[in-house]
Structure 1
Amino acid sequence: MLLEVEELRASYGASQALFGVSFSLREGQALALMGRNGMGKTTTIACITRMMAANSGRIAFAGQDLSRLPSHRAARLGLGLVPEGRRAFSGLTVRENLLAAARRGEWTMARVCTLFPRLAERAGQRAETLSGGEQQMLVIGRALMTNPKLLILDEATEGLAPVVRAEIWAAIRELKARGQSILVVDKSLRELATVADDCVVLERGRDVWHGPPAALSGALAQQYLGV
Structure 2
Amino acid sequence: MSLLTLSGLTARYGASQALFGVDLEVGAGEVVALMGRNGMGKTTTVKSICRMIPSEGRLAFDGRDLHALPSHRAARLGIGLVPEGRRCFADLTVAENLLAAARPGAWDMDAVTAFLPRLGERRHQRAASLSGGEQQMLAIGRALMTNPRLLILDEATEGLAPIIRQEIWSVIGRLKRETGMAILLIDKSLRELRQVSDRAVILVRGKTVWSGAMDTLTADVSERHVGV
Q: Deviations over 1:87-141 (max 9, x none)?
A: 0010000011011111111111122112221111111000000001100100100
Does 2:33 correspond to 1:22?
no
Give the aligned partner of residue 103 of structure 2: 103
Secondary structure of the corresponding residue to residue 68 of structure 1: coil
Give the aligned partner of residue 50 of structure 2: 49
CA distance in 1 between partners of 2:27 and 2:214 (Å): 16
CA distance in 2 between partners of 1:60 and 1:226 (Å): 30
Instruction: Tell me which amino acid in the other structure corresponds to 2:5.
Output: E
Q: Deviations over 1:33-76 (max 9, x none)?
A: 0000000000000000000101x201110221101110011011
Secondary structure of the corresponding residue to residue 193 of structure 1: helix
By how many angstroms is 1:148 displaced? 0.3
Give the aligned partner of residue 67 of structure 1: 67
Coordinate RMSD, CA, aligned:
1.0
CA distance in 2 between partners of 1:138 and 1:68 (Å): 30
Which structure 2 residues correspond to residues 1-227 of structure 1 after superposition, within 5 A? Answer: 1-54=2-55, 56-177=56-177, 178-226=179-227
Secondary structure of the corresponding residue to residue 200 of structure 2: strand
CA distance in 2 between partners of 1:153 and 1:2 (Å): 16
CA distance in 2 between partners of 1:90 and 1:58 (Å): 36
Contact kept, 8 Å, 1:189 with 1:213, in 2: the verdict is no
CA distance in 1 between partners of 2:95 and 2:205 (Å): 41
- What are structure 1's unaligned runs of at least 5 residues? none
Secondary structure of the corresponding residue to residue 196 of structure 2: coil
Tell me the TM-score normalized by structure 1.
0.97
- What are structure 2's unaligned runs of at least 5 residues? none
CA distance in 2 between partners of 1:20 and 1:219 (Å): 23
CA distance in 1 between partners of 2:114 and 2:158 (Å): 23
Question: Runs of 4+ in structure 1 displaced over 4 angstroms?
Answer: none
By how many angstroms is 1:14 displaced? 2.2
CA distance in 2 between partners of 1:198 and 1:219 (Å): 17
Q: Deviations over 1:133-176 (max 9, x none)?
A: 10010010000000001000000110111111111111111111
By how many angstroms is 1:217 displaced? 3.3
Tell me the TM-score normalized by structure 2.
0.96
Contact kept, 8 Å, 1:82 with 1:143, in 2: the verdict is yes
